[in-house]
A and B are shown apart, each in its own frame.
Chain A
């Protein structure tokens, strides 16, 4: 194994969680400020890319859910939100809002498009993770072990 850079390791560990938090923030405020599910998902994906580049993935593979499943869940979340409007007698994708007063945060208004956007977010994160895995991880592991390595069942 190539020598590791301690500074890179530590920096990435520090930045990684912040990146995820920022991505969630982008997702949450996207309806009113620059951001949204797509951008948020890309930022989170960037965080995972950092971990991959630093080589932290191999010590602690994260997340433990498969990227394909993540994309599937995202599609289901978005689809269910879109169709959820039917349950309330609306048209496909018609938006609705829920207002609630939460401790610490105060009055919060949640719009149904947020959940739709969350689906987009999951799809994008899954996409980035899938690419890292297929083009990066599997390939380099395959290279280190030679030809004919068995992939996990697709």
Chain B
């Protein structure tokens, strides 16, 4: 499994390079990675579907319990089939979608898409919850990059940012939830966690946060607006990430937790179901008034994900099986529908259903593909969507919950909306419309026919909808065994195409008729929707949250970063004096018997003190710098007297270089310090200075007497020559005993230097020309 992930990374790296030579065919090369994953998964299928698991793990950070543990069970197999199986088709499709485009970003796009496929594969295979989180975030980031593919387009950038912020915030909630859960259960393994009762306040808060994360990722109300926005991405992304795979990540988590949690934790079940039903209704309602056929599908996806939430959230064995069937069915019909939209967009250059007309006759193969997939979406018999919807309704009919009936009612209403927007999509894309229903010049009859290979991936998936609808037991290995991997109590009976005339069938029929009526009355419905005042939109909430946090950040920065250098210094120094200083006074043990070692020391200290006082009194900057140098050289002298030649050498050199650099900077500053008329502020500064001086003196004295354990320097002394191979103990410490410290220090040094270089240059570029020496210049703020 690790090898498969590395293969994705390698292919992604190769894709960005190979694009220049291969053009859009680079996608066919990229398809190798998901193909390998699909073939591998198929090879494991016999073992996994009979209840076995394939595991592999390697340790990442041992001390933190971070392990990349991978585990393939039958449910993961279902997800891999979606991620890698549909992935292959999407890559093939993308090769034709990007044909004849010379856009420079295509190589990067192919690489990112491959990277996403790898991240998603890692997500569904991860058994360690933190490994899962890492892959979860990787899918958010790749999604961000893919939505923002048209980076010159402000709309795409905004949509990408919104997707990243929403799913990123959810990711943080998820991380918090996973941390709490792993603390509550004492394990970081997902399967180990689910084998324990997840009860108690800590676990319940954790579960709530996990559910929150799942809601953002799967575009549930009220976090859904990012998904329609994400339609700014090229269609292969919509077909792959935003219908078949990434948005299922939240559903995937819910499916893992629901069988264990839902029956035990009523509030959690109610929350998951409520959010799901709300999403289903909001998504279906909003889909009915979209004119962009891609947005019709996008809101449809919100609705379908809502249904998945409601069904998995129920968490009974029947519901889990229904959820797995629905998961497969949704991926199999939504991906080809998006591909069809992409084909239409590619050939007719519009997705506005008020302009598309007569495409059904022009592109019959595309139409048949779309019709099959749509029929599956609407839940028409003999298609996989029907089987899945029957199962779902059945699960809710037998839920035995007191609020089961209203929930079922909501699902039926949602299904009515589903049929209506499905009909709207099919009609809007392919029908030959009356002049009254068109806005602007109709596009369609003149559109170029797509090539067969362009349509083929969508056709394959649509055909699967039909085949699995007629013979659903073929998918038992994925659906039934997948459900049993989630919940051992779920029934092992295979799926059937027809469950006879039962209540679920009547509800299906009701949905179908209601939906068609709603579609037939589309014009009054549109008028009605336009008339309803738009209150409390989720998009408005997002915008307000973003604007609010920016304003808050502005206020906070304004309050904290006032820009006065003396004030910054004063804050830092007063903090040092006040906090550790207070602690020092509370527990002071001065060592007795401090005496000077030699007269040389005393005279150096006198020089040092004179230099320091003179620095404070100096009125010219240059004089002040030189006097600081005196202090530094005196300290170096003290080092020499104390027998530390290395320190002394370093101190001398640093002092010298500092003076030179000071001089370089001083050229741009006025010669003298400005005269401050405020005596009170000077008194205040003096107080701070004296306070810091007293504190440091006291600190040094106390530190001398504060040793409680044996000193480490004797050990170093013993080790230096035999282990470090050097007689200069200072150097052995720097490069050997504490070499990692040095490594860190030179890294920090380099980064800081680069930062300083950048800042100085940036300041100059902004037009603040360096002043010639002697020029009147204002004091540095």
- Residues of chain A at the chain B interface (Cβ within 8 Å): 30-39, 42-43, 45-46, 49, 53, 68, 71-72, 74-75, 78-79, 82, 92-93, 95, 97, 111, 113, 116-117, 119-120, 123-124, 126-128, 130-132, 134-136, 138-140, 142-143, 146-148, 151, 154
Knowing A35-B728, A93-B736, the reply to whether A49 touches B761 (Cβ < 8 A) is no
CB distance from A146 to the nearest CB of B (A): 7
642-678 of chain B: CB within 8 A of chain A: 645-646, 649-650, 653-654, 656-657, 660-661, 664-665, 667-668
Knowing A30-B731, A34-B649, the reply to whether A142 touches B661 (Cβ < 8 A) is no
- Among A134, A142, A154, the most chain B Cβ lie within 10 Å of the Cβ of A134
Knowing A117-B731, A127-B753, the reply to whether A75 touches B772 (Cβ < 8 A) is no
B756 at the A interface (CB under 8 A): yes
Within 8 Å by CB of B758, from A146, A148, A154, lies A154
Q: Which residue of chain A has its CB nearest to the CB of B734?
A: A36
The answer to whether A113 and B735 touch across the interface, beta carbons within 8 angstroms, is yes
How many interface residues does B have (CB within 8 Å)?
Answer: 48
B551 at the A interface (CB under 8 A): no
Q: Mark B740-781, 1 if CB is under 8 A from A, else 0.
A: 101100110110011011101100110101111000000000
The answer to whether A38 and B650 touch across the interface, beta carbons within 8 angstroms, is yes
The SS class assigned to the B binding surface is helix
B739 at the A interface (CB under 8 A): yes
Count contacts between A and B, CB distance < 8 Å.
154
Q: Which residue of chain A has its CB nearest to the CB of B762?
A: A154
Knowing A34-B645, A92-B740, A142-B764, the reply to whether A42 touches B735 (Cβ < 8 A) is no
Complex alpha-carbon distance, A49 and B663, angstroms: 12
Complex alpha-carbon distance, A82 and B731, angstroms: 16
B686 at the A interface (CB under 8 A): no
Q: Which residue of chain B has its CB nearest to the CB of A94?
A: B736
Q: Which residue of chain B has its CB nearest to the CB of A49?
A: B660
CB distance from A44 to the nearest CB of B (A): 10
- Among B645, B724, B742, the most chain A Cβ lie within 10 Å of the Cβ of B742
Q: Which residue of chain B has its CB nearest to the CB of A45?
A: B657
B727 at the A interface (CB under 8 A): yes
Q: Which residue of chain B has its CB nearest to the CB of A142?
A: B770
B732 at the A interface (CB under 8 A): yes
The answer to whether A34 and B728 touch across the interface, beta carbons within 8 angstroms, is yes
The answer to whether A134 and B727 touch across the interface, beta carbons within 8 angstroms, is no
Within 8 Å by CB of A142, from B730, B747, B758, B769, lies B769
Q: Which residue of chain A has its CB nearest to the CB of B747?
A: A75
Knowing A31-B725, A37-B735, A42-B650, the reply to whether A135 touches B769 (Cβ < 8 A) is no
The answer to whether B734 and A32 touch across the interface, beta carbons within 8 angstroms, is no
| B764 partner residues in chain A, CB cutoff 8 A | 138-139, 142, 151
The answer to whether B727 and A130 touch across the interface, beta carbons within 8 angstroms, is no
B726 at the A interface (CB under 8 A): yes
| B754 partner residues in chain A, CB cutoff 8 A | 68, 71
Within 8 Å by CB of B649, from A39, A117, A134, A138, lies A39
Knowing A120-B746, A146-B769, the reply to whether A71 touches B727 (Cβ < 8 A) is no
Within 8 Å by CB of B735, from A116, A123, A130, A135, lies A116
Knowing A31-B726, A111-B725, A120-B746, the reply to whether A134 touches B769 (Cβ < 8 A) is no
10 closest cross-chain pairs (CB), A and B = A31-B726, A42-B653, A113-B735, A147-B769, A93-B739, A32-B727, A34-B645, A135-B664, A36-B731, A139-B770
Q: Can you list 27 residue pairs at the A/B interface with Cβ under 8 Å?
A: A31-B725, A31-B728, A32-B727, A35-B646, A35-B728, A36-B735, A37-B734, A38-B650, A39-B649, A39-B653, A42-B650, A42-B654, A43-B653, A71-B749, A72-B750, A75-B750, A116-B742, A120-B734, A123-B750, A135-B661, A138-B764, A139-B764, A142-B764, A143-B770, A143-B772, A146-B769, A147-B769
Q: Which residue of chain A has its CB nearest to the CB of B644?
A: A34
The answer to whether B667 and A139 touch across the interface, beta carbons within 8 angstroms, is yes
Knowing A36-B735, A95-B736, A151-B764, the reply to whether A75 touches B746 (Cβ < 8 A) is yes
The answer to whether B657 and A42 touch across the interface, beta carbons within 8 angstroms, is yes
Other A-B contacts than A36-B735, A123-B750, A151-B761, 16 sampled, CB-CB below 8 A, are A32-B727, A36-B734, A42-B653, A46-B657, A71-B750, A82-B740, A113-B735, A120-B735, A123-B749, A127-B749, A127-B753, A128-B657, A131-B753, A139-B770, A143-B770, A148-B767
